[in-house]
Amino acid sequence: SELAEFIRDVPKCELHLHIEGTLEPELKFELAARNGVTLPYPDAAALRASYSFHDLASFLVGYYDGVGVVRTEQDFYDLAWAYLSKAHSQRVRYAEVFFDPQAHTSRGVEFGTVVRGLRRALVDARRLLDLRAELIMCFLRDFSAEYAMATLMESLPFRDWIIGVGLDSDERGNPPAKFAAVFARARAEGYLLTAHCDVDQENSVAHIRQCLDEIGVDRIDHGINALDDPELPGELLRRGIGLTVCPVSNRFVTGRLHHEAVRRLLDLGLRVTVNSDDPAYFDAYLTENLLALHEAMDLTRQEVIQLQRNAFEIAWLPARVRDGYL
Ligand code: ES4
Ligand code: ZN
């Protein structure tokens, strides 16, 4: 249809993308061979066919296990370059890329190896693809606050290559407040702040409230359960805090795209955005997320434009650079 064409062609901004979640089975096999690792599947197709997630916890186990084949600086470069090439083909002009250093340092890969490999790919994308991208370091919330603080300290020599910090992995029993001191220190170091408040968690509303009152986030990842509370939507609106929603990821984790929530957030004038989260696992990059949403809710051209405008508006870019995209 005409709108599908428009969705494919519109210049895009991606703000919620885990680089570890872009590891396609084919690259996983290539890296396994390179590093002398034997995977428990005969080939990429068999690995792909084995994917079956019914909730967040079952997804995250295979996810952190699966990234074990990524080891050298070149491996991290190749991982990021594959994503950036794909994003470029979908007309992504700016991307903020999450990485999980503890998914790697916890298995003996040095912090510097991770960040140097990723950074080199970002620099090449800027030069060769005219795609600008920045890194956001996420803490794994199911590890301790002490380990997060130690990771924050390890990041400081690379401060200029990382624009902000986030919080991801298993939210159950791991509220944002657990990391209040870590985020306070991160802010003092000049990092911008975001945190995952995944869809339909046990304490979603309380966690969003903590993000505002105890962390002082600049953005919230997912966060659509703000709609369950009488005060939160108005407060997000007043404070200009954006939400990075991931429809196809929602469908995997909860069975539903939550497209009604996207429309309500748009209608309320909130800065809601659409993103891909873990596209290699959910089989949907940014264009496919927008198309899935369109199929479910019959997006208008104006809504597609507003979603991309919101993303560029809440992007962590210098004002003058941002204005160039708007
Ligand atoms: C994630 Cl779907 C999801 N939820 C929480 N943390 C994550 N990290 C990567 N994907
Ligand atoms: Zn995420």
- CATH number of the domain to which 95 belongs: 3.20.20.140
Q: State the pLDDT at residue 180.
A: 98
- Calculate the CA 71 to chain-centre distance: 21
46 occurs within a structural domain: yes
Evaluate whether residue 323 is within a structural domain. Answer: no
Low-confidence ranges of the chain (pLDDT < 50): none
Minimum-distance ligand to the CA of 280?
1
Asked if residue 185 belongs to a domain, the reply is yes
Q: Whose CA is nearest to atom 5 of ligand 1?
A: 169
**Ligand 1 neighbour 16 (Cβ under 6 A):** no
pLDDT score for 58: 83
Distance separating alpha carbons of residues 11 and 208, to the nearest angstrom: 30
Query: Number of structural domains, the chain?
Result: 1
- 325 is a domain residue: no
What pLDDT sits at residue 53?
A: 81
C-beta of 132 in contact with ligand 1 (< 6 A): no
> How much is the pTM?
0.98
324 within domain boundaries: no
pLDDT of amino acid 1: 87
75 touches ligand 1 (CB under 6 Å): no
What is the per-residue pLDDT for 54? 78
Within-domain flag for 132:
yes
Q: What pLDDT does residue 225 have?
A: 98
Q: Ligand 1 centroid vs 44 CA: distance in angstroms?
A: 22
pLDDT at 56: 86
Would you say the CB of residue 221 lies under 6 angstroms from ligand 1? Answer: no
Ligand 1 site-directed mutation target among 17, 54, 63, most atoms within 8 Å of CB:
63
Annotated binding residue 277: yes
Q: What sign does the dihedral 146-75-108-153 (CA atoms) show? A: negative
Tokens 């428009």 locate to 6
**Which structural domain range is residue 193 located in?**
2-315
Res 127: pLDDT: 98
Sort 171 into a burial class: Cβ within 10 Å, 0-12 / 13-18 / 19+: buried
Order across the sheet with 92-99: list the strands: 12-18, 92-99, 132-140, 162-168, 192-197, 219-222, 242-245, 272-274
pLDDT at 199: 96
Question: Is 326 within a domain?
Answer: no
Is 320 inside any structural domain?
no
Q: Of all atoms in ligand 1, which is nearest to the CA of residue 171?
A: 5
